[in-house]
Structure 1
C-alpha cells in the first residue's frame, strides 16, 4: 500500500508540473509589471481603436505597471517583411535592451510578464499576402524566437498571443472595398481565402514551435493566448461581448472610409459612429479591433496576469 501511494503521489506531481489545466502557473499578486511588444493592436502611443488601447485597460484592471514597446505598423523583422515602421527585432527589442542597460528598467523577472501580439502586418497586404521573399515558416520562427531572446536576457514569464481570424476583418473580408489601407483592384474573395489559410497555418506553426522550445527553457512560464478563438467567438456570438446602444455589428465598423478604385487622391466617403453606439462594434476601422473588443482582450489577459483560470489560455510550460 505504501508503494502504491508513493507511485500515485509521484504521478500526480508529474501531472501537476506539466499540465496547464492542473497547475497554477502564476500566483495571485505575483505579477507587478507588464512589458508589451507587437504592432498597432497593442501600441499605446498611437491608438488604433480611437480610444484607450487594451494594455492601458489591462494595467488598470490588474494594478500592474505597464512598459509598452509595441509600435503601430510593426512586423517581426524588417529583414523578412519590410515595412517603414519599427519592427520587433530591429527596433522594439533593441530599445528595451538599451533602456535595461541604462538602468531605466529595473524589473524583478519573477514579477514581470512579457507579452507579444504580432503577425497581422507580417501576413497582410504588402507582405506575405501579396508576395514576399520570406516564408510563413520564416516569420513564425521569428515570432517564437522572441521568447528565446528575452529568456536568455533573464525574462521568465511570457504570454504569446496568436493571430485573430483576419479573413473576417473588413480589409480582408470577401465583400471588402477600396479603403484607406488598400485602394487598388484585387480579388477580395481570393484575398479572404488566402488570408484564412495564412492565419490558421501561422497559428499552428507558432504553437508547434513554442511547444518544441518550451522544454528547453528551465524555470520559464509560457502562456499561449488563443485570440483567434476569442475573436471567432466574438464574431459568432456578439451579444456576449458588445453592449452599445446601436444594433450589434461584427461586419461594419466605427470609422469607415470608402475610396474610389485606383484613385487614392480622391476624397473618400467616410462614416464615423459616435457615443455609446461604438460599443456595438467588433471593428474600429477596416483593419483594427474596436475599443470594446480591446476591453474584452484586456479583461481576459488580466485574468492570466492575476493567476486566475482563463478559457483562452494554454500553459505550454
Structure 2
C-alpha cells in the first residue's frame, strides 16, 4: 500500500477550509449558457415533488472540509452531530458543487464526502501520513457516519438530520481515487479485486443507505479523468506534480489505461442500475438517476463557450492553480472561470457550478444528462 505523504485529492487546500466564510452577501448563480438544450429522458419515473435535503458521499470532488477535520484532530473523526462548516477553499479553489446546489435550490446539505476517499479500503487503501491511517472511505467511514447522524437527536429533542424519505436525495460521486494513481491505474489494488469489485462496493453502499430509509438516489458516473491534466495524453500531459510526484514517464500508456477504466465503469453503471432496480427489484420503492457528469464535462470540453465565462481565453486543457511537486509555490490564474480544470486533478469552481445547476435538473426528473429508474 503506497504511503501518500503529499497533498492527495485536495488535502492541500482542505486543511485551511474550516473557517466558515461570510455568506451574508450570497447572490444567485452566475449567468452562463446552459449548454445545448435536450429532451429529458422519456418516461422518467422520478417523482420527487419536494426537494428538502441533499446528502452527499464521495471524495475531493465533493468534500467541503471533512478531511480538514481529520487532519486538524490528528486523525480523529468528527463527532456525531457535527455541523460541517462551508469551505470556500475546497479542492476546486472555491465552493464545491453541493454548496451551490444548497444555495440554488434552498435545501439542507449533509456532506460526508472526504478528500482522498475511495469506496473501500479493502479494495484500494491509500495511506495518508497526516492522519497516520488510510483516507476515510465510503464503506468504512462515510456511510457509518451518515447512519449515526441520521439517528442522532440533539439535547433539546430535535432530530439532527432533516431527512424525510420522500424529500431527501442521496448523491454518490466516487471513483476518482479508486481508478487513479496509487490504485487501479498502477495495479496497486488489493490482490483478488478488480473494477467489478469497486462497482459492487458502490452498490453495496447505496443499499446500506436504502436500508436506512433512503429512497431517492443520484449516482454520478466517472468524470472524464483521461482529460484531466494529471492523466492527459501528449501534448496536454504533465509530469511529476503535487499529487503524483513519482508519476511514471509513459503518459500515453497511462492515458490509454484511464480511458479504458472510465469507459468500463461507466458502461457497468449504465447497465447494472436498471438490472438491479428494475429486473432484480433490489430497492423496492426507490428511485435512481444515473447522472452522466462524464457527458456533461465532455460537452464543456468540446463547447467551452457554452459554459465557461471568464475574462481570459477559454482553456480546457490547462488549469488554474500551478504548484510545485510538494504543493508549494502555487501561482493561480486571475481568471479561474475561464478554465475547465482548477489544478492537475480537480474541476474548476465554474465547472462545479455547471454540475450543480444540472444536478438540480436531474432532481427535477427532467435532465438530458440523466437516466431514471424505479
Q: TM-score range by the shorter chain?
A: 0.7 to 0.9
Aligned with residue 314 of structure 2, among 223, 232, 248: 248
Aligned with residue 192 of structure 1, among 255, 259, 266: 255
Q: Is 1:181 aligned to 2:239, yes or no?
A: no
Separation (CA, whole Å) in 2 of partners of 1:219 and 1:185:
46
Q: Is 1:150 aligned to 2:193, yes or no?
A: no
Unaligned runs of 5+ in 2: 1-39, 66-86, 127-133, 154-159
Aligned with residue 123 of structure 2, among 71, 74, 80: 80
1:94-109 map, 5 Å: 94-103=144-153, 104-109=160-165
Query: CA RMSD of the aligned region, Å?
Result: 1.7
How many angstroms does 1:20 deviate by?
Answer: 5.0
How many angstroms does 1:27 deviate by?
Answer: 4.0
Separation (CA, whole Å) in 2 of partners of 1:80 and 1:23:
34
Separation (CA, whole Å) in 2 of partners of 1:199 and 1:27:
30
1:215-254 map, 5 Å: 215=278, 216=281, 217-254=283-320
Separation (CA, whole Å) in 1 of partners of 2:351 and 2:247:
30
Greater CA deviation, 164-173 or 98-107?
98-107
Alignment partner, residue 7 of structure 1: none
Which secondary structure does the structure 2 equivalent of 1:143 belong to? helix
Greater CA deviation, 40-49 or 227-236?
40-49
If you compute each CA radius of gyration, which structure gives the higher value, 1 or 2?
1
How many angstroms does 1:199 deviate by?
Answer: 0.5
Q: Is 1:314 aligned to 2:357, yes or no?
A: no
Alignment partner, residue 6 of structure 1: none
Which secondary structure does the structure 2 equivalent of 1:115 belong to? strand
> TM-score, length-normalised on structure 2?
0.74
Aligned with residue 63 of structure 2, among 21, 39, 43: 43
Separation (CA, whole Å) in 2 of partners of 1:89 and 1:27:
27
> TM-score, length-normalised on structure 1?
0.87
Pair 118,185 (structure 1): closer, same or farther in 2 beyond 3 Å: closer
Separation (CA, whole Å) in 1 of partners of 2:247 and 2:152:
49
